[in-house]
Amino acid sequence: MNISVIGTGYIGLVAACCLANSGHQVFSVDKDLDKIEKLNRGVIPIYEEGLETLLNKAQQSGKITFSSEIGPALINTDMVIIAVGTPATADGRVDMSYVNDVAESIIDLAAYPLTVIMKSTVPPGTGKLLCKRFFSRAKVPISYSSNPEFLREGKAVWDWYNTDRIVIGTENQETAEKVMELYRDIDAPKICMDITSAEMVKYASNAFLATKISFINEIANLCERVGASIDAVAPAIGMDQRIGPHFLQAGLGYGGSCFPKDTTGLDYISSFNGYHFSLLKSVIEVNTNQRVMIVRKITQALDDLHDKKVAVWGLSFKPDTDDVREAPAVDIIKHLIAEGAHVVACDPVAIDQVKGVFTHNRLDFNTNPYETCRESNAILLATEWSQFLNLDWIRIKGLMKSPYLVIDGRNVLDDKTLQNMGFSYIGVGRS
């Protein structure tokens, strides 16, 4: 099939490269000229495992083309996949302007019948609205499907080929069959439903996973107060098959471009529809507090942060990505600096991204975890990059200053060993 993919973000670019490698002819569009120039040279503008190899293979076989012009993408194509950003606005609404711009272009420029597939995360009800407002006015017949993505950043290529399910929301069987054709080489259940339900599946999945994280963080906070250990509690809860072991890792809470945006987005959609989603509001509140709580722990342990040096390990919102959007580390660093601390931050790939977000005369960066510890009173492990898991703690102790505080924001360090070595160790919910 000839497929146009609009947007080369995490979802659009992964979809474009994977579909090209499945033998489809893909035309990929983004209005960011810099990105297109890089992609044409075979360089991916994001850090995503396995994606550059896929891109290079697709380019060598001539199955993928990049352009900043949307016009050619709407000619001689069977399908247009919309994968543009739907960021949160300041008041928590979902910004639909990029999606609406693409819909406008489609009705202006489409000259042959085509199928529009929505992969951007859009509020339930959007598909029906787009069909009514835009696609029903097109000069040619346009069929529509919601086909949400469940790809994780850093694991997106693996997730594409190993997804638990493919959700297809359409109003007719013919469109559903066309969308299924995209995934002919993927062995996963393909579930068809109406458009609005498919849109809801995406929000509900992310909100549920966020709920699991906030729930386990609350249990961890309670463990600290009653003297239990989350290390014992979480795995035992997860062994109940009705609960499952995933997303029960207590720590600094969730970040990234998806969970924060989708939870606040769903909260806004609920209020807009006259529904007070109290559980979801609490999930969001717990996640925000988790970041404040860690600053409080550091402040208490160091007495006062003024003139104290804190090394922060990990800037990206999770390992294996350079994405710092809504990253707990970034928020926490802002708090630490506001409290008077001097911060030296370390990350294998995300330093440039943070420099793009903010700089401060009491914030330095270093890619070497040992160097960040020099003269520091405390280390905060904010992101569990593998680079931070097997370090020489004798060397680190020699570089640090009293009280040799280690705050393990992800519960991944060996607390007993560190304590025996003379570090003051604080985790999240560890007794």
Chain contacts with ligand UGA (rule: CB under 6 A): 121, 149-153, 206, 209, 213, 247-249, 251, 253-256, 258-259, 317-318
Query: What would the two tokens of residue 50 be?
Result: 């396995």
The H or E element spanning position 79 is strand 79-82
**Residue 305 backbone dihedrals phi, psi, to 5 degrees:** -85, -10
Task: Supply the minimum distance, in Å, between the C-beta of residue 216 and ligand UGA.
Answer: 7
CB 301 within 8 A of CB 424: yes
Nearer to ligand UGA, 152 or 335 (CB): 152
Q: Report, in Å, the least distance between residue 136 CB and ligand UGA.
A: 29
What DSSP string describes 7-58? --SHHHHHHHHHHHHTT-EEEEE-S-HHHHHHHHTT--SS--TTHHHHHHHH
Could you give the 3-state DSSP secondary structure of residue 4? strand
- 192 in catalytic set: no
Catalytic residue among 17, 258, 346, 373: 258
Q: Report, in Å, the least distance between residue 198 CB and ligand UGA.
A: 14
At 166, which helix (H) or strand (E)? strand 166-170
Tell me whether residue 123 or residue 251 sits nearer to ligand UGA (CB atom): 251
Report the residue number, 25 or 387, with the smaller CB distance to ligand UGA: 387
Cα–Cα distance for residue pair 136/73, rounded to 1 Å: 20
Please state the closest distance from residue 161 (CB atom) to ligand UGA, in A: 14
**CA–CA gap between residue 370 and residue 216 (Å, rounded):** 31
Rounded to 5°, the CA angle 298-321-117 comes to: 130
> Which residue's CB is nearer to ligand UGA, number 287 or number 372?
287
Count CA atoms within 13 Å of residue 141 on its CB side. 2
**C-beta of 134 vs 317, nearer to ligand UGA:** 317
170 has which bridge partners?
145
Any idea which residues carry the catalytic annotation? 258
